[in-house]
């Protein structure tokens, strides 16, 4: 969320930023919020004038009463009463306008960093760098859920009867591998100096609107019926919410946290080969990293955070690349974002496994996350988040890139870094013969 004074002082810059994001339908919001803010300020000015005048009149009444001029004093008292009614009306109008200003303000996109490439949608995102050679085995690679089925590792049919489409049971070695990945990711981030957290899995509406745009909220969040609670779509939501209305001494920054949680998402409009299987689902688990820091340090942390994801995936023998999200692919609160994508030998292309975002002071402004400097001055922190691993997608990449085939049975090589979390297991053999 942009500062209202910044919008009023730089309307054309804000409009141009909206054009860069190809959201021209939001351009009128700039003039609308400026008009509402001017009305609010006019209300405040009139109210202040009335308060000053009331104080002045009160002194006059006292003087008149002291002189015994009660009739004249009563006339002036009537004026005070009339002004009190006007003040009450102004206060109500000011409250209404304040709310309207904030509602419109929250719909205006954040200013993207000047380094972000201009593009209409994710098809115009820009590859930055590839890490590791693409694996292209000389044997057929089954679809990821078919691989799991060969190890008796997945049951979508039963999950469908229990919860419907978009859910699954993981079992046996595949379930153990899932847990091993999350445990490894947890320790990986702890070794980077991050504090491990398990947050609440539900948050209130004021936190939801503090961490994301209204469009994201509608597309992602599940609401608890009859309560002011939402299931989190990622632990970033409750982890950033942890600092709502707080003031952190500057010397305690940066705050570096890594959090585990289940995640719940509507995943509206999912389709295509990537969206079948367990690529896009309603419930999954995730390890996240969150940083709260000084504004001048946020881009340095942004680069550290995505590089941690690359390092982790490469430690599991998974080729990856970084992709810079263009202006049209950035959510409204984001200043800059990189996707880390893993190589899929099955699809012969990369697919998203991590998303690293710098949100500037947008979340901090919405949630009141402030820092107290050494000089005693308070300012808004910058917030960043990045996926460490989301095991459903990590499992796809892990299985496909570490798959073996002897002509009859498939197997999975367990990367060395993961073996301690698998009880020392180096290799897993399928329980079923592949029949093509």
pLDDT of 260 strictly over 90: yes
Give the pLDDT confidence score for residue 193 in this predicted structure. Answer: 98
Helix extents (H) in 195-350 = 205-211, 214-220, 235-241, 298-315
Q: Among 256, 201, 186, 204, which Cα is nearest to 421's?
A: 186
Cα–Cα dist 50/9, whole Å: 28
Backbone angles phi, psi at 143, to 5 degrees: -60, 150
Pairwise CA distance, residues 341 & 346, whole Å: 14
In the 3-class helix/strand/coil scheme, how is 225-250 assigned residue by residue? CCCCCEECCCHHHHHHHCCCCEEEEH
- For the chain, report the end-to-end CA distance as a whole number of angstroms: 53
Is the pLDDT score of 153 beyond 90? Answer: yes
Asked if residue 327 lies in contact with residue 112, where contact means CB atoms within 8 angstroms, the answer is: yes
Quick one: which of 354, 431, 434, 436 has its CA closest to 154? 431
Q: Rounded distance, CA 367 to CA 239, Å?
A: 12
The pTM score is: 0.89
Q: Are 254 and 290 in contact (CB under 8 A)?
A: no
pLDDT tens, position by position, 24-80: 999 999 999 999 999 999 999 988 888 777 667 766 666 666 666 666 766 666 666
| pLDDT of 314 above 90 | yes
> Where is pLDDT greater, at 212 or 11?
11
pLDDT at 273: 45
Q: Biggest alpha carbon distance in the chain?
A: 112
pLDDT, tens digit, for every residue of 328-359?
Answer: 999 999 999 999 999 999 999 999 999 999 99
Average pLDDT of the chain to the nearest whole number? 92
Q: Which residue has the tokens 């500062």?
A: 3
Return d(Cα 295, Cα 278) in angstroms, integer: 37
CA 331 to chain centre: 9
Average pLDDT over residues 361-370: 97
The residue that leads in pLDDT, 76 or 309, is 309
**Does pLDDT of 214 surpass 80?**
no
Give the percent of the chain with pLDDT over 90. 81
Ordered structural domains, the chain, with CATH: 4-105 (1.10.287.40), 122-429 (3.30.930.10)
What mean pLDDT is predicted for residues 366-375? Answer: 97
Asked if 289 contacts 258 with a C-beta cutoff of 8 angstroms, the reply is yes
Give the Cβ contact number of residue 133 at 10 Å.
8
Quote the Cα angle for 79-84-90, to 5°: 125
Per the structure block, which two tokens stand in for 414? 């367990």
């Amino acid at each position: 969320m942009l500062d209202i004074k910044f919008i009023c002082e730089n309307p054309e810059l804000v409009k141009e930023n909206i054009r860069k994001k190809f959201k021209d339908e939001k351009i009128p919001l700039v003039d609308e919020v400026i008009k509402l803010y001017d009305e609010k300020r006019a209300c405040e000015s009139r109210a202040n004038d009335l308060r000053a005048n009331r104080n002045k009149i009160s002194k006059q009444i006292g003087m008149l009463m002291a002189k015994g001029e009660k009739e004249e004093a009563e006339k002036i008292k009537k004026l005070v009463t009339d002004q009190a009614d006007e003040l009450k009306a102004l206060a109500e109008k000011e409250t209404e306008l304040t709310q309207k200003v904030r509602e419109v303000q929250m719909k205006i996109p954040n200013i993207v960093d000047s380094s972000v490439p201009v593009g209409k949608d994710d098809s115009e995102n820009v590859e930055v760098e590839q890490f590791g050679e693409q694996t292209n085995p000389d044997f057929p690679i089954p679809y990821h859920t078919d691989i799991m089925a060969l190890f008796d590792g997945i049951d979508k049919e039963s999950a469908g009867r229990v919860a419907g489409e978009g859910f699954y049971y993981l079992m046996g070695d595949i379930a153990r591998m899932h847990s091993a990945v999350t445990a490894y990711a947890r320790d990986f981030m702890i070794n980077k100096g991050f504090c491990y957290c398990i947050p609440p899995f539900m948050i209130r509406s004021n936190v939801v609107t503090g961490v994301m745009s209204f469009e994201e909220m509608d597309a992602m969040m599940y609401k608890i019926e009859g309560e002011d609670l939402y299931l989190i779509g990622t632990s970033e939501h409750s982890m950033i919410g942890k600092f709502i209305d707080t003031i952190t001494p500057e010397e305690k920054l940066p705050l570096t946290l890594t959090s585990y949680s289940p995640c719940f998402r509507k995943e509206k409009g999912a389709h295509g080969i990537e969206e079948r299987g367990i690529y896009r689902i309603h419930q999954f688990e995730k390890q996240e990293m969150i940083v709260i820091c000084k504004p001048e340090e946020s881009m340095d942390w942004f680069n550290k955070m995505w590089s941690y994801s690359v390092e982790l995936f490469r430690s599991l023998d998974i080729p990856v690349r970084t992709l810079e999200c263009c202006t049209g692919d950035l959510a409204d609160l984001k200043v800059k974002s990189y996707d880390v994508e893993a190589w899929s030998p099955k699809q012969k292309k990369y697919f998203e496994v991590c998303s690293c975002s710098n949100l500037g002071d947008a979340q901090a402004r919405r949630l009141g996350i402030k820092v107290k400097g050494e000089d005693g001055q308070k300012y808004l922190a910058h917030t960043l988040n990045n996926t460490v691993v989301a095991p459903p997608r990590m499992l796809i990449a892990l299985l496909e890139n570490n798959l073996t085939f002897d002509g009859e049975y498939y197997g999975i090589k367990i990367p060395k870094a993961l073996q301690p979390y698998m009880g020392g297991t180096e290799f897993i053999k399928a329980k079923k013969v592949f029949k093509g």
